[in-house]
Amino acid sequence: VAVFGDQVAIADTLDAALDDVFGGDSGASAGDEGAAPVPGSPSADPGAQVQLDQALQQARQAITDSQAALQRGDFTAYGE
């Protein structure tokens, strides 16, 4: 996991996560190239990525719905 400002990236290695955060070759060398994935990590379980993607989509929809309710002044729906 790498975080810089509002940019967040998750990858198999720190180097790859840094590259994702900075949009290309970050120039960083964390010394973790060739490291084996941790058993049980998302890269070791392809189904975990599907579940994560679904959960993120549900979260995005909940945010969209709550913002729409707030704009309508529907505080009951906003609180759900």
Mean pLDDT in the chain?
Answer: 81
DSSP H helical segments within the chain, as ranges? 14-21, 46-72, 75-78
Q: Identify the residue with better confidence: 79 or 44.
A: 79
Instruction: Evaluate if pTM is beyond 0.75.
Output: no
Quote the CA–CA distance of 68 and 66 in Å, as a whole number: 5
Residue 34 has pLDDT above 70, yes or no: no
Print burial letters for 16-42: b (CB count within 10 Å at least 16), e (below 16). Answer: bbbbbbeeeebeeeeeeeeeeeeeeeb
Residue for token pair 């890269």: 43
Residue 42 has pLDDT above 60, yes or no: no
Quote the CA–CA distance of 41 and 16 in Å, as a whole number: 15
Provide the pLDDT for residue 52: 84
User: Which region among 42-46, 59-63, 70-74 has the lowest average model confidence (pLDDT)?
Assistant: 42-46
